[in-house]
Amino acid sequence: MTVIAQDTVVKFHYTLTNDAGEVLDKSKDAPLAYLHGHHNIIPGLEQQLLGKSAGDKFTATIAPADAYGEYLAEAVQEVPRANFQGVQNIEAGMQFQTQTDDGHVMLVTVKDVSDDVVVVDGNHPLAGVALTFDVEVVDVRAATDEEIAHGHAHGEGGHHH
């Protein structure tokens, strides 16, 4: 029986809840597939899956630092409305891609809008949230050379080229 380790392709079902027990996400009809050890899923969950094998079921609570990070107040910024050229209707909840000074692309969520200023939040929507995963490991196999080279699982539940 193959255990989850570096360069294995793992398929698993999950239900994700927050501290209040609200379901935030879950695998749909097919299990999620990922390449272990290649940062395809949050680090805390990847660490909890290490050493497991097909048929294993467990619950893991992941601290914010090992999930989507702590909530950073400095990631909330006021941006001049003029920076949103060509966008007529800006509303709270909308998301936009922006580029950081060092060239990275990041997603920001609009929090508030006035005539001159748009307040955006660069935190991930789940930043600062402890996440609980109910997991069932469905399959574990060795990754192909192509999957390792590409850095992700291929096929059902994985990436399609």
Query: What's the CATH number where 93 sits?
Result: 2.40.10.330
Q: Within a domain: residue 95?
A: yes
Q: Are residues 13 and 64 in the same domain?
A: yes
Task: Look at residue 160 in the predicted model and tell me its pLDDT.
Answer: 57
Q: Within a domain: residue 2?
A: no
Task: Look at residue 159 in the predicted model and tell me its pLDDT.
Answer: 63
User: Which segments of the chain have a pLDDT < 50?
Assistant: none
Task: Look at residue 1 in the predicted model and tell me its pLDDT.
Answer: 83
φ, ψ for residue 43, nearest 5 deg: -60, -40
69 contacts: CB under 8 Å, gap ≥ 6? 123, 124, 127, 128
Q: Are residues 14 and 42 in the same domain?
A: yes
Domains held by the chain: number: 2
- Per-residue pLDDT of 99-127, as tens digits, reads 888 888 889 999 999 989 999 999 999 99
Q: Within a domain: residue 97?
A: yes
Query: What is the Cα–Cα distance from 111 to 72, expressed in whole angstroms?
Result: 14
- Using CA of residue 100, residue 44, residue 42, residue 112, what is the dihedral sign? negative
Domain span at residue 132 reads: 8-68+127-150
Q: Within a domain: residue 20?
A: yes
Q: Within a domain: residue 158?
A: no
Number of H helices, E strands in the chain: 2, 9
Q: Are residues 47 and 84 in the same domain?
A: no
Q: Are residues 63 and 89 in the same domain?
A: no
Q: Are residues 131 and 64 in the same domain?
A: yes
